[in-house]
Amino acid sequence: METSMPLAENLKNKQQRRVKILATLGPASDSPEMIEKLFLAGANAFRINMSHGEQADKAALVTHIRALERKYAMPTTILVDLQGPKLRIGKFAGGKVMLETGAAFTLDQLEDDGNASRVRLPHQEIFDALEPQTRLLLDDGKLVLRVQSVTSDKIETIVEVGGPLSDRKGLNVPDVVIPVAALTAKDRSDLAFAVEQGVDWIAMSFVQRPEDVAEGRKLIGGKAALLAKIEKPAAIQRLDEILELADAVMVARGDLGVELPPEQVPPLQKQIVSAARRLGRPVVVATQMLESMITSPSPTRAEVSDVATAIYDGADAIMLSAETAAGAWPEEAVSIMDRIAKQVESDPDYYSRVHFTKINADETTADALALSSAQIVKTVDTNAIVCFTSSGSTARRISRERPEVPILVLTPHIDTARRLGLLWGSLSVRTRDIGSFEEMVAKGKRMAMRHHYGQAGGRLIMLAGVPFGTPGSTNVLHVVRLTGDELKGF
């Protein structure tokens, strides 16, 4: 299907943007028509949240996205977000109570409905792990309890911050590592479903230890990439170990802001982004980015500044949650985020700011060439870096350097092209593999011109590996000049 000129221009502009936009699908955006609108407004990837709905509904979303991918011949990324272990209290007689500040409140394992002085907590692992003076947070941190004493079946607390509390509200335990499995039975079922559907990324919620990531990787079996959501203080303490095992991370500011004082979240966001960039792992900044757009057609100035900060920090992707899943203005939320990103990236100081993280290349040929390509861009007027890759590792190395020109990634593997949809500065194109140096140069030139990444007289930097088609063999850097004749005959 041919697209109109304005539509083609819209997609061209989307390809030029460095930071990626990850849009969550939900009741406000689960139709093929709305998914297409989000795609055309600027969404590079779609998040499917397994915390709500049935697997059959999620399978329909995958079908819609893959149809969109075929229509526009653009690899499109699908991320499935697992619910993770949810700690919840039991029910109350009457459904709701008021906890008064300073009052005593008990969590126990009795089957009876709760009241203003006690409620059931059906999680033995919490009783086993708690110590006196640790905090318990209820209802996303709205209520705070301080533990006074703990036995095998009773937790005595004092209410430090009171308020209304209703049935089955969530419980957070920020001060200790709770020995709960990162993957529940539901998560395992949803993970198997996601792999069967051929999604590109699987996000693990409430990761606390590197062992959690290792378990997820084993179950995925290499059939998708793994993103670890950093939303627990325990994960911050072992961040580098988690990053070593994960393919990407997410700064999940919602739960971080529940378990930590809110003033600690901004510096932690910078710490996580910086650590991920040093190791060459894509990093997503998420939660409440344009929160007011759930009900309003325009964001607050503070929200715009928040999105801009994440982009200046060099995040690979920025995520919309309820704004697109359940909000009244999903298409507008993506469009505004796209406009914010383009404005930030047009700032003359953008690249000096985005390099606040010092990146040390590993002692490998591939890393040396990736670093060199970014340095050449600063010295020689260059249109783009063209990267031939099988696994995507060369593209990730180049992206880590945050070069000042786009990265055109050419790969014969559709799964590689899709997974790179969260990678800063890149456009992935599936194309037949190359077999010679001459073919590399010709194809690189042709694809750059076709995707608006080059112009007559401009230069391209090309990276590939010899022998061609061998994963992990990047050892060639070549600079070529475009003549303008590259598309003749095509």
Catalytic sites, residue numbers: 47, 88, 229, 287
Tokens read off for 112: 């009876």
Q: How far apart (Å, rounded) are the C-alpha atoms in residues 396 and 398? A: 5
The residue with tokens 């670890």 is 228
Q: How many DSSP H helices and E strands does the chain contain?
A: 18, 21
Q: How far apart (Å, rounded) are the C-alpha atoms in residues 38 and 228? A: 25
Question: Residue 259 contacts by C-beta under 8 Å, 6 or more apart in sequence?
Answer: 137, 141, 172, 174, 231, 232, 233
Q: How far apart (Å, rounded) are the C-alpha atoms in residues 426 and 167? A: 46
**What letter represents residue 359's amino acid?**
I
Of 119, 95, 116, 96, nearest to 107 by C-alpha is: 119
Q: How far apart (Å, rounded) are the C-alpha atoms in residues 245 and 195? A: 19
Q: How many CA atoms lie within 13 A of 385 on its CB side?
A: 32
Of 390, 374, 466, 465, nearest to 428 by C-alpha is: 390
Q: How far apart (Å, rounded) are the C-alpha atoms in residues 210 and 236? A: 11
DSSP 333-389: HHHHHHHHHHHHHTSTTHHHHHT-S-----SSHHHHHHHHHHHHHHHS--SEEEEE-
Tokens read off for 51: 């915390």
Decide if 411 contacts 430 (C-beta within 8 A): yes
DSSP 3-state helix, strand, coil percentages of the chain (rounded to 5)? Answer: 40, 25, 40
Tokens read off for 293: 């757009």
Of 200, 241, 250, 192, nearest to 216 by C-alpha is: 192
Residue 311, exposed/middle/buried by CB under 10 A (0-12, 13-18, 19+)? buried
Decide if 320 contacts 354 (C-beta within 8 A): no
Of 364, 384, 311, nearest to 475 by C-alpha is: 364
Q: How far apart (Å, rounded) are the C-alpha atoms in residues 122 and 89? A: 7
